[in-house]
Amino acid sequence: MGRAMRAAAWIFDYALPLAAIGTYQLIPDKARGKAFGGPSASVSAMRAILYQGSGGWEIIRQIAVSNHPDRPSMP
- Cα–Cα dist 61/16, whole Å: 14
Confidence grade of residue 40 (pLDDT, cut at 50, 70, 90): low
Instruction: Please tell me the predicted confidence (pLDDT) of residue 63.
Output: 78
Instruction: Please tell me the predicted confidence (pLDDT) of residue 33.
Output: 62
Instruction: Please tell me the predicted confidence (pLDDT) of residue 35.
Output: 56
Under 8 Å between Cβ of 64 and 38: no
> pTM for this structure?
0.66
Mean pLDDT, the chain, rounded, equals 78
Instruction: Please tell me the predicted confidence (pLDDT) of residue 9.
Output: 86
pLDDT for 75 beyond 80: no
